[in-house]
Chains A and B, each alone.
Chain A
């Protein structure tokens, strides 16, 4: 069955069934399509209370929806109009979670310029409040965690392993995680830079500095990339550091 005014119906509200049986009568063909209503049936006030009662989030109650923040927001103005701090505050305060989730793909995009917070006529700490909303949603599993956290984790693991930033493994290990086929040496099973698939942007990004690099530094870098040196006596310190980080919950998320 054709849907009229298709643009007004979000895809997630459309249910199609191959066979639809109502009260034992097979009505497939004519009535195999259901469009779910878009009515708000209730507020999730427990979610809202969790934000209001958190130390960073309590200024959310001061918002009177003037949209000074959104008008100032570079992300809203130059990137995606769906990123709207004023609207997020309204939705969070009533606990309209499904509406927040619709914007999950843009919600992490705050660049922390703090224009919203500095300009807010009601003294709402907008940037902090938005972070609380995101944290609360992530904690409850209502939104995927911040994408850059995946890199942070990888980075932390790498530092913990060698006691230093190991450029080659960090970069190409990360590239491997993005789905590229990286060439690994057969003994250590570590990626060898540039031998496997390398994204074009990385080639461009590497060639330029290499051209202007001191030859001694270049040799040193190449040596490190191949032999993965560690900080001296690192293995003992690593254990201590890992334990402390685990105790403080810094490794869990």
Chain B
């Protein structure tokens, strides 16, 4: 019997790895701690994915279907890794459902979690109903198909996006000093969606700098401004307050271009959440002895290898957002790259 590969995590990176391994004819076990495959985009009801503006079902759906239908891939939902022993090439893993397997290689794709904005008390999340997260806005679009103020159900006149909530912030400790990579682009996309469907709603993005890197510059930074009239205001929101007189929120900041303090009325404030390593990532790192960034706790690739999917342990590969913020496209490609490396590592005779 040929050696098999364990894939931990059923999000984009894990699905891509399992699908590639299944297609190569490698026996694969995919474990997922939730009750469904697809990871954060499916679980949190994302509406539209950057950069291709497709629905999660369009992008991740085919991966889920292929994985479920492939006889080489055994999918175990509601299952976590509990222990791992043995040598590279023959890892003996124990799972939370009681099963024990011997696998030749492991692909870790345990992903990230969204930052909990209640840790930034000054932004009033949980206190004022009209302060929502960008996740909730995505859910509003995808599940309810309309934009409204949670406080009264009416259409807001003004929407503010607050960038970098839980990102680039030493106040939260050393764990959140990184950039979330997706926030600027997603805010541009959400701003465009709002302006497209509600042209009378004014959208403001409060930024320190706009990091729509690479080819995202035009579609997610220029287009929102030029074609949809989304306004960018430089200044980080320091405090959100509520005025009972008019029932609107006030975003308190310094406009760093005008160099004046400002408290501007807003009807809906959207917090753009940062990314943190998921609890699963931290747990798996301990069980497998993987190297973690001392600050952010994200997994870090081997120092010797030039590749960023090779971990410090031979035969264990890391892919996707468990290594730090990453977009879904790159998660797929990293999963597929990890699958190729894992197949090579176990010396699989690839089915043609």
Contacts and interface: CB of A to CB of B under 8 A. Distances in A.
Interface in A15-46: 37-43, 45
Given A45-B202, A61-B225, A62-B226, A94 B260 contact: no
A41 B225 contact: no
A50 to B, nearest CB: 13
A39 B258 CA distance: 11
Contacts of B172: none
B199 to A, nearest CB: 11
A90 B202 contact: no
Contacts of B232: 64
Contacts of A96: 258
- Interface size range of chain A in the complex: 20 to 34
B92 interface: no
Contacts of B260: 38-40, 99
Contacts of B263: 39-41
Contacts of A87: 257
A12 to B, nearest CB: 14
Interface in A54-79: 61-62, 64-65
B258 A64 contact: no
Contacts, number: 45
B231 A93 contact: yes
A87 B202 CA distance: 21
Interface residues of B, number: 19
Name B's interface SS: strand
Interface in B201-233: 202, 221-222, 225-226, 229, 231-233
A90 B257 contact: yes
Given A40-B258, A42-B264, A94 B234 contact: no
A52 interface: yes
Contacts of A91: 258
A64 B225 contact: yes
B257 A40 contact: no
B348 interface: no
Nearest to A48: B231
14 contacts: A37-B261, A38-B261, A39-B261, A40-B258, A41-B264, A42-B264, A42-B265, A61-B226, A64-B221, A64-B225, A65-B234, A90-B258, A94-B233, A96-B258
